[in-house]
């Protein structure tokens, strides 16, 4: 269903009414199909989601080969062998890994063989070198009987032809890259990492290389969101700072769409006289602005300019961060076709009481500890939405439901983990 008015079923929110976090996210995700697949070398596909199932055309191993350094033998020849009662065989030759010309194993003979070398014709098993000793010149003593197939890697033991190895939707891990190489798949169709353009809006902002004049501040959101985008699996592009000016914003949005799968702007989404983001997105495309029942991060803007989804997040750094976590990170994952859209969660017990506003879902910065097999969550002492150090000290966001206004020491909370996944 479209999040935009006039498309699909109309949604009634009373003026000034709040929309829930889950509803807002659902509207946005409903508007974001996964990106079209591209073909990449397997070396470049780590962490990306397969857009096709992978089958093998080939067997792995494709030929029978030795699992050990030792001697390739016929089972009947070594049937009576024991530790103190060896059988002596003539060494007919040697097969190394990679060999193509193979000496056959005939009655009464053995062929020295290395790990990975093809099993020579006539051989039925391999006796490891540890179970042999030197015999008379050109002969080897075998101190162990063998069953057919001992220490032999059979054809197709790992992969059989036509076997489905990886389903579409699977996220590629290092072991998958190894398997793809082994079966001769050099390229795969995957969903690309979304290109995410980040724009910081505000007359007060200066780039971080610059010393701010009185009344101005450095752009903290731009670099922070770049890091968040990267952590979410996207490719961040900085579009720098744009002034609180409709024309400048219009140009900044418009000129950055060509290379963006997603655009994020921070600042300028509140009700202030210079908050133009909603209006500018609306002029260029479609937009929806909502007050979301959340703290921090109540004012939220989502739109589409052409085909590009656009987020407008509130400018306070902690509000930007939490909004990213709740809405943008899932969007970036959805564009990648990923199933793990949400952060992992744990249940933890509070070490300090917290209070929260009524009718708003509150995300409290907490520090987690493992004590006696349980998680505890210590809320940071300052929860102001401008206080970045409280976020730096936190490793999770405790999720306080809308209807809860106070929690005591020892109460359980769900904590979203701010970890790399
Ligand atoms: P706004 O959402 O534009 O009303 O901004 C809210 C607060 O966040 C103000 O104190 C801004 O100065 C601050 N702010 C906005 N953008 C940034 C940014 N990129 N980096 C750091 N602080 C910002
Ligand atoms: Mg502003």
For 73-119, write each residue's pLDDT tens digit: 999 999 999 999 999 999 999 999 999 999 999 999 999 999 999 99
Task: Locate CATH 3.40.980.10 in the chain.
Answer: 15-35+193-335
Which residues sit opposite 129 in a β-bridge? none
Task: Name, in order, each residue with C-beta under 8 angstroms of 415's C-beta and a sequence gap of 6 or more.
Answer: 345, 346, 347, 348, 366, 368, 375, 377, 396, 397, 398, 399
Q: How far, in Å, CA of 4 to CA of 16, rounded?
A: 18
Nearest CA to ligand 1 atom 10: 316
Which is more confidently placed, 14 or 144?
A: 144
Helical spans, DSSP H, in 285-354: 317-323, 329-335
Taking each continuous run of H as one helix and of E as one strand, the counts in the chain are 8, 29
Mean pLDDT of 49-78: 98
Q: What is the model's pLDDT at position 90? A: 98
Instruction: Dihedral sign for Cα 242, 290, 220, 238, please.
Output: negative
Alpha-carbon distances of 397 from 197, 221, 411, rounded to whole Å? 25, 19, 15
Q: Where does the chain hold its CATH 2.170.190.11 domain(s)?
A: 65-153
CATH T-level topology, domain 40-60+163-191? Molybdopterin biosynthesis moea protein, domain 2 (3.90.105)
Is residue 7 pLDDT above 80, yes or no? no
Q: Which CATH class is domain 345-417?
A: mainly beta
pLDDT for 2 equals 85
Every domain of the chain with CATH number 2.40.340.10 lies at 345-417
Predicted pLDDT at 300 = 98
What one-character-per-residue DSSP string does 86-131 give?
-EEEEEEEEE-TT--S-----TTEEEEE-TTPBPPTT--EEEEGGG
> Looking at ligand 1, which atom is closest to the CA of residue 270?
4
Angstrom distance (rounded) from CA 117 to CA 95: 6
The proportion of the chain whose per-residue pLDDT surpasses 90, expressed as a percent, equals: 95
pLDDT at residue 29 tops 70: yes
What is the tens place of the pLDDT at every residue in 377-397?
999 998 899 999 999 999 999
Q: Report pLDDT digits (tens) over 108-136.
A: 999 999 999 999 999 999 999 999 999 99
In this structure, the residue with its CA closest to atom 7 of ligand 1 is 316
Instruction: Tell me the residue length of the chain.
Output: 421
11 lines ligand 1 (CB under 6 A): no
18 lines ligand 1 (CB under 6 A): no
Mean pLDDT within 54-73: 98
Per-residue pLDDT at 68 exceeds 70: yes
Average pLDDT over the chain reads 96
Q: What is the pTM of this model?
A: 0.91
Summarize the confidence of residues 246-270 as an average pLDDT. Answer: 97
pLDDT at 14 over 80: no
With bands split at pLDDT 50, 70 and 90, how would you rate the model's confidence at 9?
low
| Residue 351: predicted pLDDT | 98
CATH of domain 65-153: 2.170.190.11
As a whole number of angstroms, the distance between CA 388 and CA 383 comes to 9
Looking at residues 345-355, what average pLDDT do you find? 97
Find out whether the beta carbon of 204 lies less than 6 Å from any atom of ligand 1. Answer: yes
pLDDT of residue 15: 54
Mean of pLDDT values over 308-327: 98
For ligand 1, say whether the CB of 272 is within 6 Å of any of its atoms.
yes
**CA distances in angstroms from 96 to 1, 106, 229, 339, listed in the order given:** 63, 18, 50, 46
Question: In the chain, where does the domain assigned CATH 3.90.105.10 lie?
Answer: 40-60+163-191
Architecture of domain 15-35+193-335: 3-Layer(aba) Sandwich (3.40)
């Amino acid at each position: 269903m479209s999040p935009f008015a006039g498309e699909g079923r109309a949604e009634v929110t009373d003026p000034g009414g709040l929309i829930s976090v889950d509803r807002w996210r659902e509207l946005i995700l409903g508007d974001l199909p996964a990106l079209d697949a591209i073909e990449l070398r397997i070396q470049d596909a780590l962490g990306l989601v397969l857009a096709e199932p992978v089958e093998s055309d080939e067997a792995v191993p494709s030929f029978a080969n030795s699992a050990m350094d030792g001697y390739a033998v016929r089972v009947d020849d070594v049937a009576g062998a024991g530790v103190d009662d060896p059988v002596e065989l003539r060494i007919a030759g040697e097969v190394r890994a990679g060999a193509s010309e193979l000496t056959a194993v005939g009655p009464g003979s053995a062929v020295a063989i290395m790990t990975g070398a093809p099993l020579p014709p006539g051989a039925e098993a391999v006796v490891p070198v540890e179970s042999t000793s030197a015999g008379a010149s050109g002969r080897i003593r075998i101190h162990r009987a063998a069953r057919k197939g001992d220490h032999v890697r059979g054809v197709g033991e790992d992969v059989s032809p036509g076997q489905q190895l990886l389903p579409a939707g699977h996220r590629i891990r290092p072991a998958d890259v190894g398997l793809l190489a082994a079966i001769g798949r050099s390229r795969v169709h995957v969903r690309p990492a979304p290109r995410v353009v980040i724009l910081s809006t505000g007359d007060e902002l200066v780039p971080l290389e610059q010393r701010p004049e009185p009344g101005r501040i450095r752009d903290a959101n731009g670099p922070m969101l770049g890091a968040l985008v990267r952590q979410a699996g996207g490719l961040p592009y900085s579009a720098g700072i744009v002034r609180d000016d409709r024309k400048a914003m219009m140009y900044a949005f418009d000129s950055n769409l060509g290379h963006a799968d997603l655009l994020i702007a921070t600042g300028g989404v509140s009700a202030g006289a210079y908050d133009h983001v909603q209006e500018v997105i609306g002029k260029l495309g479609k937009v929806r602005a909502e007050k979301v029942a959340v703290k921090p991060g109540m004012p939220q803007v989502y739109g589409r300019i052409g085909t590009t989804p656009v987020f407008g997040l509130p400018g306070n750094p902690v509000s930007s961060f939490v909004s990213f976590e709740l809405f943008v990170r899932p969007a970036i994952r959805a564009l990648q076709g990923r199933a793990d859209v949400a952060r992992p969660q744990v249940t933890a017990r509070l070490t300090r009481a917290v209070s929260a506003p009524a009718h708003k879902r509150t995300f409290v910065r907490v520090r987690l500890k493992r004590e006696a097999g349980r998680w505890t969550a210590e809320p940071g002492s300052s929860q102001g939405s401008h206080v970045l150090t409280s976020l730096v000290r936190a490793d999770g966001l405790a999720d306080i439901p809308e209807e809860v206004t106070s929690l005591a020491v020892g109460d359980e909370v769900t904590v979203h983990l701010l970890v790399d996944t």
